[in-house]
Each structure stands twice: as C-alpha cells, then as structure tokens.
Amino acid sequence: MAQANEHPGEHAAQDPLKLIGIRETPLSVDEVFRAVGEAAAGGIALFVGTVRNHDGGAGVDALGYSCHPSAEEEIRRVAEKVVADYPVRALAAVHRVGDLRVGEIAVVVAVACPHRAEAFEACRRLIDDLKHEVPIWKHQTFSDGTEEWVGAC
C-alpha cells in the first residue's frame, strides 16, 4: 500500500537490484532490459557500451578486459548508492571480461524510475560511477602494434 504523499504504484520496490554481474560470455541487452521491467516505472534508461575501433586517435585492433575479484561486489556497491540517491524501481548492470572484438558489447546498464528524467540521471550516474570506481581494466592493442593498459574503465 502506498504511503501518504505517494501515488499508487510509486512505492519503492522490495529489491531494486535485479541483475548485477561480471560475465565472460557475450552480454544480452534483452536480458538487461527484461530484468528492469517494472510496472511502477514510467521510464527505463539503458546504456550499452561497445568496443570501438579507435582510442585517442589510434586504431584499436584488440581489447581485453580483466577485473579484480571484488569487481562484482563493487558494482553492487555503486548500484546501491544510485538506488539511495534516485527513485529507482529496478536496476541492472553487467560487465564483460575477456577478449572482445570491435563492435562487441562490453557493458550494459539499465535503470527503471517513475519518470524519464530520473531514469536518465540515474543511468548516467550508474555508468559513470561504474567506470570510475569498479576495478575493471582494459588492455588495448593498437593497429601500429603498440599497446596500453587503461585504469578502471
């Protein structure tokens, strides 16, 4: 039952963290979208990060992601902060590790909120904090044969 000053259906979900994970297999946008389906949500914002064919003006031929064993728990911690700061009804975040090809999906996050503006803001915060705070690293091999490690992606 909705509390005073809430609209019907706008009470907080029991557990808004629907899907959190680190995967060695290809990611599914459909799985993430289905995970955040929520009747009380008027807006779902979804972000898909893919491997691009360049970085800093140099062509990228290959990319590998690796992570610290705590990475999944750190994604959960980041997600919990987003849930605490926004009216999130459902949230999902998965990141890929291993060797990926150009065009493959590296990360998918989604947030369902009562309204679209909240969903956009929460989704942006989720992906930005994930990239800056979760111990996931990428190893890029450039077209000229050079390579580099990039800190928390």
Residue 101 structure tokens: 């090809």
pLDDT in tens, 100-138: 999 999 999 999 999 999 999 999 999 999 999 999 999
Domain boundaries, the chain: 17-150
Model pLDDT, residue 11: 46
pLDDT in tens, 16-68: 999 999 999 999 999 999 999 989 899 999 999 999 999 989 999 989 999 99
Q: 17-150 maps to which CATH number?
A: 3.90.1170.40
- Is the sign of the CA dihedral 74, 64, 137, 92 positive or negative? negative
Beta bridge partners of 148: 140
Model pLDDT, residue 150: 87
Environment class of 141 (CB within 10 Å of its CB; exposed 0-12, middle 13-18, buried 19+) = middle
